[in-house]
Amino acid sequence: MNNNDLLQMRFPNRIRLTLAEACQALGISTATAHNHISADRFVLPILRESNRCYIHVRALAEYLDRLEAVSLEKSAKPAKRGRPTKAEQKAREAREATKKANN
C-alpha cells in the first residue's frame, strides 16, 4: 500500500483536508504549521478559502512518499573511512574466532 491508499482509507472520499487533519497525518502541531505558513516555509501547497487552509490529499501523499525515499537513502550508510576502533577490532576477531570454531 502506498501513502495515497492509506490516506484514502483514513479520510474516505476526500479530495482536500483541513490543516488540522493534514497536521495530524504529518505528526506536527497546527501551531507549528501556522508558523511555517506565515513564514512561507510550509512544505505543502496551501489552498485558502474563506480564511481557512486546506491541503490536497494527493500533495500530502506525494510529500510523504518523498520523505520515505529520503529516509531510505539516508539509511544506507557509506563505508566508514580510517582505522577501525579497538572495539570494532575485538568484535571482528570474536566473529572470526566463532566462525573458525563452528567449522
pLDDT digits over 79-94, tens only? 678 888 888 889 999 8
User: What nine digits make up the cell of 38?
Assistant: 506565515
Number of neighbouring beta carbons within 10 Å of residue 33 = 21
Number of neighbouring beta carbons within 10 Å of residue 23 = 18
Can you give the pLDDT at residue 100? 81
Report, as ranges of residue numbers, the positions in the chain whose pLDDT lies below 50: none
Can you give the pLDDT at residue 77? 67
55 membership: H or E segment, kind and range: strand 52-56
Can you give the pLDDT at residue 44? 93
Q: Whole-model pTM?
A: 0.67
